[in-house]
Amino acid sequence: MAAMWRVLGAGATTIATVASALALQVPAAGAQPAQPQPSPPGLGPAGTATVHGDAASTDTMPGRGPGVNPAIVSGLTGATCSTVFIGSDDMPVALCTSYIGMNPPTPAAPTVKLFHPDTAEVLAEVQLAKGALLGGVYGYLDDRDRVVVADGNRRLLAVGHERTPEGPWRMTVEVLADLSAAVPEGDAITGLMPAFDGRVVRDVGWRGGNRPNRRWWRWRKF
């Protein structure tokens, strides 16, 4: 049975909720189903591989909803998990950010967490170098169930998960590319998305200095 994940942030504590898809919600009269958006090569499952549903950021998902009386389980992560992915193996993986202090809340280094799909227990996690935008939350899930994200060291990473020979889960980190030649010191990569020509589209923001605050798009093939 498929599962749908919700992440609710409450200060420094996040409740990760799994709602089993028990029934379809009744659509409004006359409502038409959304048309599926094409996926670029390398992107993971439709609807659960990006923070906004697909490469076009439509915030829509294929498949059934949780129904009107879903079974719910939750777990405390100690962080706000702004982006939750579900890969072809049905294992939920999230990009999560903890906070230091509350006035103002200061994001700490992000972590990638692997959850049990039935209990919401954190099975494994790995911390990344702090980047921009809540420490780095706009990545995507690739077609190998890896979280592709840029860290604060200006590296393009693929964070996967696997079982150890002893049985427990562990996270794996592969450096796909060193982006420091294209992203100057002091700049930050705020988002990633695979492009239809096989490249990766990066949203890069300038921070501080004498440069105006703005964003622009660049491409790098790996």
Q: Per-residue pLDDT tens for 95-133? A: 988 877 777 777 778 899 999 999 999 999 999 988 766
Report the DSSP beta bridge partners of residue 127: 111
Confidence grade of residue 7 (pLDDT, cut at 50, 70, 90): very low
Does residue 212 have a pLDDT over 70? no
Question: What is residue 4's predicted lDDT score, i.e. its pLDDT?
Answer: 41
Stated pTM of the model? 0.75
Q: Looking at residues 135-144, what average pLDDT do you find?
A: 81
Of 126, 125, 183, 124, the C-alpha closest to 153 is: 183
Q: Which residue in this structure is represented by tokens 């959304």?
A: 34
Residue 186 vs residue 17, higher pLDDT: 186
Q: What is the pLDDT of residue 104?
A: 78
What sign for the dihedral angle of Cα 125, 20, 75, 8?
positive
- Give the integer Cα–Cα distance in Å for 220 and 222: 7
What is the C-alpha separation between 118 and 13, in angstroms, rounded? 20
Name the percent of the chain lying above pLDDT 90. Answer: 27
Alpha carbons 101 and 78: distance in angstroms, whole number: 13
pLDDT per residue over 23-36, tens digit each? 333 444 555 665 66
Across the chain, mean pLDDT equals: 75
Which tens digit of pLDDT belongs to each residue from 155-200?
889 999 999 999 899 999 999 988 888 787 877 777 788 888 777 7
79 in Cβ contact with 97 (< 8 Å): yes
